[in-house]
Homo-oligomer: A and B are copies of this chain.
């Protein structure tokens, strides 16, 4: 038996094992041909990739090293005895090969693949192969099976309330933090909403990143359930709730490959909502030239897929198309966005009107799910809850229940105003470029970094008037971002109307 050793290397999601080339028990080269090995301990098995080490300070000849995450997963102590064996490739790879060669898979085959992915039995290249072959061709029946399979491997939430509303935005619009306004409105009304959100992967902020400016978001499933039962709503990070662990793994490969097919998007979203125990779901599809969905035809096809899966899994789905031609609100980046959200909830005079209006529309549509409410009165009810301060009070209850943030984040101290290069009317703002700029400035890692927009589409500007302000926390980021804005502001300015 080898002695277990923790190797303080962060290998992200992947389990990595380290074996000395001069190992006294195994011949590492024999295992090199296998992409994965089984680490056997106390009758259990952990799958890991193998790296061979030529430095006994890292791994000794009688040791097996495990990367930080793998060591945490195996739950043993250093020097505990473990053995290794070559890992048999997962049997579902046969199905994957069929898919690669153009076959259609049935539900049990998809379930096997997803179960193996959730158990970390697939390498990144195998996951890529699954995603790409599915992107090439996927039937709606396969999409439904994928949704169910992904929900099945996740935690399943149950709720005492008969109606659990939920919302999801297809994304791609910076500053679009409507959830943080919709959730307190619904909670104030008494229609429970257990909102899980993602952290940013390629964007400058996810709802979880922005909510974290105000409260703790990394709640466990049980903590989250308590908050929802106590306050009627929550705004937590989905990562600890584990509603769709297979999807989390798929996304980690989808993103770098920029594979973004409708079918995978629908299965990803619907599997999480299915696990979350939602009964009524509102999907927001922003449409715009630099948004994820660029036209109404695309949006309609997507809507039909959501409706189909919703019907099959017994989840009431409503899809609305919204304008996605520019960022929503003014701030882009966690602190700046949280400021906008609290301004709307507090009824501040200078709160961004577009963020307020869109949130009211979404909340109004969701409120219609309440049988006690007269049809068509959702919007007015939402506005009442916002204007009366009841939504703000609900938000404060949620913040306290999740754990109010003790750190006082403020916007990045390194600032630079980007000026209008000409006089005219703003005709377009490139969402993609503004997002990229906010990321360069340090968002979401630096909560205070980002972009604060002074002008929106339709506004008239004079030459030299500030369009937006860059906020950064570090000099190098600040420099990069200024240089990026110098290349192109991301604004189109037309002649005065």
Encoded as 1 (CB less than 8 Å from any B CB) or 0, chain A from 237 to 276 comes to 0000000000000000100111101000000000000000
Measured between beta carbons, the chain B residues less than 8 angstroms from A53 are 8-10
Give the interface SS of chain A, mostly helix, strand, loop or mixed.
mixed
Copies per complex of this chain: 2
Chain B residue at minimum C-beta to C-beta distance from A16? B51
Say yes or no for A75: interface residue by CB 8 A criterion: no
Chain B residue at minimum C-beta to C-beta distance from A53? B9
Contact among B10, B30, B132 with A128 in the assembled complex (CB-CB below 8 Å): B132
> How far is A58 from B132 in the complex, measured between Cα atoms in Å?
37
Do A51 and B11 touch (CB < 8 A)?
Answer: yes
Do A97 and B258 touch (CB < 8 A)?
Answer: yes
> How far is A41 from B11 in the complex, measured between Cα atoms in Å?
25
Do A129 and B8 touch (CB < 8 A)?
Answer: no
| Residue of A21, A131, A136 with most partner-chain B CB within 10 A | A136
Measured between beta carbons, the chain B residues less than 8 angstroms from A29 are 445
Say yes or no for A32: interface residue by CB 8 A criterion: yes
Measured between beta carbons, the chain B residues less than 8 angstroms from A27 are 445, 474
> How far is A454 from B124 in the complex, measured between Cα atoms in Å?
43
Do B100 and A135 touch (CB < 8 A)?
Answer: yes
Say yes or no for A18: interface residue by CB 8 A criterion: yes
Q: How far is the CB of A32 from chain B (nearest CB, A)?
A: 7
Do B136 and A10 touch (CB < 8 A)?
Answer: no
> How far is A259 from B129 in the complex, measured between Cα atoms in Å?
10
Say yes or no for A125: interface residue by CB 8 A criterion: yes
Task: State the A residues within 8 Å of B (CB).
Answer: 7-12, 18, 21, 27, 29-30, 32-33, 35, 51-55, 57-58, 68, 93, 97, 100-102, 123-129, 131-133, 135-137, 201-202, 253, 256-259, 261, 442, 445, 474
- Known A125-B125, A128-B129; further 20 A-B contacts with Cβ < 8 A: A8-B53, A8-B55, A9-B53, A11-B51, A27-B445, A33-B202, A97-B257, A100-B132, A100-B136, A100-B259, A101-B136, A123-B124, A124-B124, A124-B128, A125-B256, A125-B257, A128-B132, A129-B129, A129-B259, A136-B137
